[in-house]
């Protein structure tokens, strides 16, 4: 799947060759870092939900979004079993912030979830990450609850949810 989002950036499914760049972006942009095996496992198990943003001129990976599909109760309560898309990680290289690349990645992965009849998408975000919270709200996510001491450094997280069907 190649989705030209502008003349500069292409959103596509990640490939194993993209993993070193994804890991580098994760380490440089986010406080939560994962071992290489984590990324490889998610790429193998959920290839449709592991997308990269590529700068067309140089073929450089400049951002990514990783999701996994889970089954469980709705995040906002209830007892029916639903399919949930968990946004595990989203990051864009600093020089490319503010260009809508995070939005492009999220819209692309949400379209994939809708195509595959996923019922809701959810994610956790640091309570002090105002830019990310603003992005997610713009995409239709709602804050469901606070997650005290959610992150390893003790920062509170927010659980945000978007109904897809």
- pTM summary value: 0.93
Query: How many angstroms separate the CA atoms of 57 and 66, rounded?
Result: 24
Please, what's the largest Cα pairwise distance for the chain? 49
Whole-number pLDDT of residue 76: 86
Whole-number pLDDT of residue 1: 46
The full DSSP string for 5-35 is -SSSEEEEE--GGGHHHHHHHHHHH-S----
pLDDT cut 90: percent of the chain above it: 86
Render pLDDT for 38-65 as a digit per residue (tens, 0 to 9).
999 999 999 999 999 999 889 999 999 9
């Amino acid at each position: 799947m190649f989705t030209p989002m502008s003349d500069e950036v292409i959103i596509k499914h990640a490939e194993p060759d993209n993993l070193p760049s994804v890991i580098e972006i994760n380490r440089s942009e986010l406080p939560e870092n994962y071992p290489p095996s984590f990324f490889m496992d998610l790429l193998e198990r959920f290839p449709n939900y592991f997308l990269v943003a590529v700068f067309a001129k140089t073929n450089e990976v400049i951002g990514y979004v990783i999701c996994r599909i889970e089954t469980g109760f709705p995040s906002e309560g209830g007892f029916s079993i639903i399919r949930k898309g968990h946004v595990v990680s989203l990051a864009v290289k600093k020089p490319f912030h503010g260009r809508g690349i995070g939005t492009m990645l999220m819209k692309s992965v949400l379209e994939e979830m809708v195509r595959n009849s996923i019922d809701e998408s959810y994610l956790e975000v640091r309570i002090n990450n105002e830019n990310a919270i603003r992005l997610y709200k713009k995409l239709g996510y709602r804050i469901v609850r606070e997650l005290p001491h959610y992150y390893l450094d003790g920062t509170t997280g927010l659980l945000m949810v978007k109904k897809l069907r």
